[in-house]
Structure 1
Amino acid sequence: MGLSSALASAMSGLRANQAALSIVSSNVANSQTPGYVAQTPNQIEVTTGDFGSTAKTTGVSRDIDSYVLNQLRTETGGSGYADQTANILKQLQNVYGTPGNSGTLETALNNFTTSLQALSTSAGSSSAQTVAVGAAQALATQLNVTTKGIQSLRSNVEQDLGTSSQAANAALNQIADINSKLQGLASTDPSAATLMDQRDQAINSLSKYVDVRVTTDGSNQANIYTTTGIQLVGAGLASQFTFASAGALGATSLYNIDPAKSGVGALAIKLPNGSSIDVAGNNVVSSGQIAADLKLRDQTLVQAQQQVDQLAATMSSALSDKTTAGTSVSGPPAGFDIDLAGAQPGNTVNLTYTDSTNTQRQITLVNVTDPAALPLQNATNANPMQIGLNFSGGMGAIAAALNTALSGSHLTFSAAPSPATATTLRVTDDNSGLAKVNSASSTKTISSLTSGSPQLPLFTDGGQALYTGAITASGSQMTGLAGRIAVNTQLSTDPTKLSVYSTSPVTPTGDTTRSDYLYSQLTNTVFSYSPQTGLGSASQPFTGSVSNYLQQFLSVQANASTQATALQQGQSVVVSTLQAKFNSTSSVNLDSEMSNLIQLQNAYAANAHVMSVVQSMMNTLLQAQG
């Protein structure tokens, strides 16, 4: 029995050596194969008879560090997000151009203000008037070009959403297909190891586009979820991203959670049970290229458009809007009369009062002629608080609406009594001593080039349409204004109106009132800017001149691009480091494989020698028996 046991052990050793040699050969052959994970034979001891034991190979193990692999996937998603963000923000900087160079907003605005200053210096010469109008047209054109550049980037991102969704779907389908093939196979099966390599590669590819969390169950099925818990892959089943592109986007093409109102492509994820989830509306993904595309398309680049729209709107209104203080009412009760005659949609009444806590409050009444746009939304504790109403609705109706909206403020609104006109609104305290009306004024858009005032509609919304800041159900007139802004065609035809602001009496030759005013409005007057531009906050909005505002948002965008590039570089280092760490334990080490090969060669020779000795001993035994 001893010789037979020894022979069996040697035979099992040879078989184990052959299996191990096959695995070493596979490792060496695939040392340069992307995604291949080095394999190690699983060898166990099996007892035979009274003495000795045999060796048995039960499959292979993959030399994989799951913890590092999961980290690598997480950071790959972060890298995909950072790469796309940095790439688009770098292109956005190209849209703005290098500060100081020609063909930039900053240069165009400077040229325009310089031309207005020269117009005053030259006492309204015709050549200076022509130059100033040309500079205004160049500024409007630069705003148009900037808008086209921003919307082109949004359209590119929109297109990338479709491309990325298709790539993610291909990975999801491959993972689900491999899951099906792995059903019934033990994880130590050599053929399973090859499939798991392929599945890991597909998961790694998926992680570039979306954030993933991977779990593996007892039947060797990979279940993949987003970090928000949406299942992407189950046992043989895969969710699918669906994307319906909206084509080229414009400034008014904005995301809305209501599909009927949304102006951008709809990205959804269709689950295996047939239900569909809006990816953007439900924040399904938080990292990866798809998450970056959604934020860029619906937030980052929209805010960039809001910044240039705000520049166009402030610049237009600064030159065309005339603010008139209300007429003081001595009381009691004390307050002001405000004339609403001639107010355009979007024009405003501004009130300042001190409340019962001695806090100064501001209220802006906005002329809204589209009832579908009401009520206007206000941020919590907004100051000023906006109230929308139709100024042409009659003073009685206006007063009643305001008294209801501001009940508890200790303000009282009414139609001003005779001899005031039927278009005059009166605001006073309620004579309780708990509120004090400090000031009131109305701001209206001047529509004529020769109104007798220095204000004029130099810039218009398109050819001749006034920019008044009108609000309708479809949004604010300011949205996309930078892409539509133009110089008033009447002014282009007659540049003398940059100096002549009255025809009765006629503005004297050499009068620089209008050009002085225009220059001062653009360079010295301080305005308040919407926090939606990313500057300031609702409680402390950014304030400054038009030039200050332009420099500020360009600086903010430049810093954002710099930070995005730094993050991209940092993520690249992290991914490279994790990849190297993963490779150090999971990739094929040729030195180790060569060492294993020598050991196998020696072991094989030793097992063969044992068999030779056993055969010799058996021959001796047979001869002795003979």
Structure 2
Amino acid sequence: MSGSLTQALYTAQSGLLANQSALDAVAQNVANVNTANYSRKIVHLEQRVVAGTGAGVQISQVTRAVDEGLLKSLRKEISSFNQYDAQQSYFSRLQDVFGAPGDNTSISHVMTELGQAMEALAVTPDQTLEQSEFVRQAQDVMLKLEQMSSTTQELRLQADTDIAQVAGLINSLSSDLVSLNNKIIQNGTTGADVTDLRDQRDAKLDELAGYIDISYFYRGDGDVVVFTTAGRTLVDNSPVATAHNAASSVTSTTTHAEGDFSPIYVGPQIADNDITSEVRDGKLKGLIDLRDNTLTDLQSQIDELAAELRDVMNLVHNQTAPYPGSSTMSGTRAFLNVGTAAVAPAAGEQTITFANNSDTRITLFDASGNQFNTTTVQAIMASASYGSGAAAANGPWNIAEVASAMQDWLQASGTPSATVAINSTTKKLEIDLNSTTYYMAMRDEVNTAGTIPAPVGSTASNATIQFDANGDTVIDETVSGFSNFFGLNDLFVDDNADNIWETEVMANSFSASAATLTVYDGTTSTNIAIAAGDSLANIATKINAATAAGVTAAIVPDGSGSRLRLSSNDGGNFTITQAAADTLLTDTAMHSADVRVSTQLHVRNDIISTPSLVSTGAVSWDSTKGVVGEYYRSKGDNSVIESMSKVFAAANAFDSAGALGSSSLTFTARATSIVSYNATIADANDSQQAYQESLTLSLQSKSDNFRGVNLDEEMSNLMLFEQAYSAAARIASVIQNMFDSLERIFQ
């Protein structure tokens, strides 16, 4: 090789500069030994060659001590950990409200106390204290159901608010990553060190992974492209906007499936860019699962329990009236088209028909419970003296004619000012005797001999009422009990409109039988043809295509299956029926939806203010009274409250709701199942969160150990680079002396 003093000086200078940069890297490493997200910088040296001749040393590159494969695994686990961690505070609050099965504040405990109050009232049905205690315990159950439901919806609202927050943070991080990408490319083009910028970008990627599941890759120019694991781009040459508008309020009928929540958009805010159903991990996934699955399942369980309690208890309570009877009755069933009072109902008018030799006895009692007058519904409907004239035996009768005939009989039988009519606003049956002398009570009977009307003293048994809900002469619903059909003596009321209908929980593989469905709002009928083999989604599509029906259909997830839910577009009542030979609605158990029942259900207001209005005893028959026997009321009769107590304590058929399968359980046992389910999923989340935390910390520790600064190693490097720097400086000093000597020679 050839050279000169000048070349030697340049070579020594390169050693000074290279080792100076290396020393700076060591200094940076030592200074950031405790800095989070800092990766150890490694200076790589290489021989500098100019015109094929060695010219000293130069820095080839400065790299970071990172394991990209380990970082990818870590970010995946960060996403999973944050999914469960996001739910911790929610489950904690649910536990506070739902409690444990043995807690005095749990729904299972208050159910038990209600059962005990029934038993106590059955022993002394005429005692004010026991009546008041029963009403108080019933109110406590209603309050607990309402609290559970309200808390569930408050948490769903909070989850939706948090989703909007997370969407904003994802949006901000996407912008930060694009900015760092640009800086890395700009600085990398000029050969500047970009390792610190890469550290900052890694920290942003870690944070982003905590919010949403991500995948990414690096381009040759050093920038990173980030997208969700479902393939939605979050970061490219420019940030992609992520947005979600939080709901202002949430109720049990608010669902993502029905479009009630704003979508989570990535990119332009169009339907195709909604990623709500695509998110697979991260805090966002945890919040979505809470809002749309976990909490809605709990709500479904609460509503099923509340609806069953309402229906079972009201059926028994409607078998009679408070002692000695009622002077006013207000029904809870709202009708769509009661028709005009007439012997023969017209098309489109809703009608009832008595079946199975059923009849309902209407009796007026004096203040002591003695019979004053009695008849049956069959008798007054068949009589030319009441209503519009003699109607067909058993029916069908439109509702207006039934009300008219009952009013005529009451006015002619001791209560001349009595009114029986359908309220023009609520569309519900209302009875007012306008009398302080007599009281009315009903008793369903069956005439085993088959004669109509049922003779006095016939066997007490719930009447079978067949209801034509759209006036097409096809029976659409069968209800047990005349008073129960109208809801004249309900114990529990919810005041919900019949503007939402839904099926029971159906398997996602459900396949329909052919049917013609009819949506009826009291004036307009819209027919919808369903083909054999249609899925729930196909049925929903066909219903939505029938815009004249005025309803919107949606498939709502519930537990491991789904419900087909129909909602009125204008909030008005409607019904859905099927042709006579069809079974689709029967197969799916389509019914006026139970959703929101637990929020609205309460003890009837007049019973709250006057607990003695609780019906405890039945209308009884005594064949020895009078000439042919008489009906009477006994203040100490406990037959009805005892029946309620037995039904409450007996196994009841509960439908599948929110991951709780259909079962035959007592009300207390079903309530315990709800509490246990909540505790189980909370515990499962704790376990998953603890496991993911352990795994994440383990990977984080490995990554930190790999990328972190080792002071012993840095001290070793410091001495190495210091010696190299000193040697290069010594060479430069010697060469400088040689130049000085040459200058003196030539002077």
Q: Distance in 2 between matches of 1:596 and 1:444?
A: 93
SS at match of 1:44: strand
Equivalent residue number for residue 246 of structure 1: 247
- Following superposition, the deviation at residue 319 of structure 1 comes to 1.0
Equivalent residue number for residue 634 of structure 2: 508
Q: Distance in 1 between matches of 2:336 and 2:275?
A: 31
Deviations 1:292-313 (A, max 9, x none): 1111111111111111111110
- Distance verdict in 2 for CA 1:15–1:323, change over 3 Å: same
- Following superposition, the deviation at residue 224 of structure 1 comes to 0.4
Contact 2:47 2:54 in 1 (8 A): no
Does the alignment pair 1:610 with 2:731?
A: yes
Equivalent residue number for residue 304 of structure 2: 310
Equivalent residue number for residue 493 of structure 2: 460
Contact 1:230 1:284 in 2 (8 A): no
Q: Distance in 1 between matches of 2:597 and 2:682?
A: 25
More displaced 10-residue stretch of structure 1: 75-84 or 486-495: 486-495
The structure 2 residue matched to 1:107, chosen from 106, 109, 129, is 109
Equivalent residue number for residue 392 of structure 1: 350
- Distance verdict in 2 for CA 1:512–1:369, change over 3 Å: same
1:308-347 equivalence runs, <5 A = 308-321=302-315
Equivalent residue number for residue 282 of structure 2: 288
Q: Distance in 2 between matches of 1:498 and 1:344?
A: 17
- Distance verdict in 2 for CA 1:251–1:130, change over 3 Å: same
Which amino acid is the alignment partner of residue 553 of structure 1? Answer: I
Q: Distance in 2 between matches of 1:550 and 1:165?
A: 37
Which amino acid is the alignment partner of residue 533 of structure 1? Answer: G
Equivalent residue number for residue 527 of structure 2: none
SS at match of 1:36: coil
Gaps of 5+ in 1: 325-342, 347-367, 371-389, 396-417, 427-439
Deviations 1:308-341 (A, max 9, x none): 11111010111123799xxxxxxxxxxxxxxxxx
Which amino acid is the alignment partner of residue 392 of structure 1? Answer: Q
Q: Distance in 1 between matches of 2:132 and 2:744?
A: 125
- Following superposition, the deviation at residue 600 of structure 1 comes to 0.7
Equivalent residue number for residue 422 of structure 1: 396
Contact 1:28 1:590 in 2 (8 A): yes
Equivalent residue number for residue 267 of structure 1: 263
Contact 1:450 1:502 in 2 (8 A): no
- Following superposition, the deviation at residue 579 of structure 1 comes to 1.1
Which amino acid is the alignment partner of residue 179 of structure 2? Answer: D
Contact 1:162 1:243 in 2 (8 A): yes
SS at match of 2:48: strand
Q: Distance in 1 between matches of 2:88 and 2:676?
A: 16
Deviations 1:64-115 (A, max 9, x none): 1111111111111111111012321222111112433333212211111100
1:478-557 equivalence runs, <5 A = 478-496=594-612, 497-502=614-619, 505-529=631-655, 531-536=656-661, 541-557=662-678
Q: Provide TM-score, normalisation by structure 2.
A: 0.63
Deviations 1:570-601 (A, max 9, x none): 11111111111111111222222111101111
- Distance verdict in 2 for CA 1:268–1:469, change over 3 Å: closer
Q: Distance in 2 between matches of 1:154 and 1:6?
A: 75
Equivalent residue number for residue 353 of structure 1: none
Contact 1:450 1:500 in 2 (8 A): no
Gaps of 5+ in 2: 319-330, 338-347, 354-391, 398-464, 468-476, 503-565, 572-591, 621-629
Deviations 1:251-283 (A, max 9, x none): 22222354xxx1x3x133242xx4545676652
**Quick one: percent identity of the two aligned structures?**
23
Which amino acid is the alignment partner of residue 461 of structure 1? Answer: D
SS at match of 1:35: coil
Q: Distance in 2 between matches of 1:618 and 1:564?
A: 77
- Following superposition, the deviation at residue 52 of structure 1 comes to 5.1
1:170-189 equivalence runs, <5 A = 170-186=172-188, 189=191
The structure 2 residue matched to 1:299, chosen from 293, 296, 304, is 293
Equivalent residue number for residue 384 of structure 1: none
Deviations 1:463-489 (A, max 9, x none): xx7999976634944211111111012
SS at match of 2:194: helix
Alignment RMSD (CA, Å): 3.7
- Following superposition, the deviation at residue 43 of structure 1 comes to 1.5
- Following superposition, the deviation at residue 17 of structure 1 comes to 0.5
More displaced 10-residue stretch of structure 1: 121-130 or 292-301: 121-130
Q: Distance in 2 between matches of 1:617 and 1:49?
A: 26
Equivalent residue number for residue 561 of structure 2: none
Q: Distance in 1 between matches of 2:178 and 2:481?
A: 64
Deviations 1:465-521 (A, max 9, x none): 799997663494421111111101232244233313439834323222111111122
Equivalent residue number for residue 376 of structure 1: none
- Distance verdict in 2 for CA 1:246–1:12, change over 3 Å: same
- Following superposition, the deviation at residue 54 of structure 1 comes to 1.5
Which amino acid is the alignment partner of residue 604 of structure 2? Answer: N
- Distance verdict in 2 for CA 1:131–1:505, change over 3 Å: farther
The structure 2 residue matched to 1:95, chosen from 88, 94, 97, is 97
